[in-house]
């Protein structure tokens, strides 16, 4: 299966808009509202960007991302659609980093699934 692709390309002018969007999504999460796949990707992109700026290593970012969202925080089908997510991030003057998240949101067993 090919990785899910969504491009967030921003410069310094649109950075405030991007992070305002991320904050709005986090507010929805704090109200126990489920988010869709595009909102999920945006939150993960924001997480990756902030952690790179803070100088975190790729393994640290992966570990944080894996515990960031649970299946109960996203709409049905989002965890299954995000089996592999690849971020190619070039933040500020830092070199480009490639971060691959494999199943960042655990999938749950369905009640009707055969045993």
Give the tens place of pLDDT for each residue, 4-40.
566 666 667 788 888 999 999 999 999 999 999 999 9
What structural domains does the chain harbor? 14-102 (3.30.280.10)
Spell out the long-range contacts of 74-80 with Cβ–Cβ below 8 A and sequence spacing 24 or more: 74/34, 74/35, 74/36, 74/37, 74/40, 74/105, 75/34, 75/35, 75/36, 75/37, 77/37, 78/35, 78/36, 78/37, 78/40, 78/105, 79/103, 79/105, 79/106, 79/107, 79/108, 80/107
pTM: 0.83
pLDDT tens digits, 57-83: 999 999 999 999 999 999 999 998 888
């Amino acid at each position: 299966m090919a990785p899910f692709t969504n491009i967030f390309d921003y410069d310094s002018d649109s950075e405030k808009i991007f992070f305002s969007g991320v904050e709005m999504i986090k507010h929805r999460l704090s109200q126990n509202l489920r988010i869709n796949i595009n909102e999920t990707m945006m939150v993960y992109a924001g997480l990756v960007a902030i952690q790179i700026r803070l100088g975190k290593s790729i393994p640290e970012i992966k570990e944080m991302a894996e515990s960031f969202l649970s299946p109960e925080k996203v709409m049905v089908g989002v965890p299954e659609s995000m089996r592999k997510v690849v971020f190619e991030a070039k933040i500020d003057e830092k070199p480009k980093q490639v971060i691959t998240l494999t199943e960042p949101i655990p999938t749950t067993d369905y009640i009707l699934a055969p045993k």
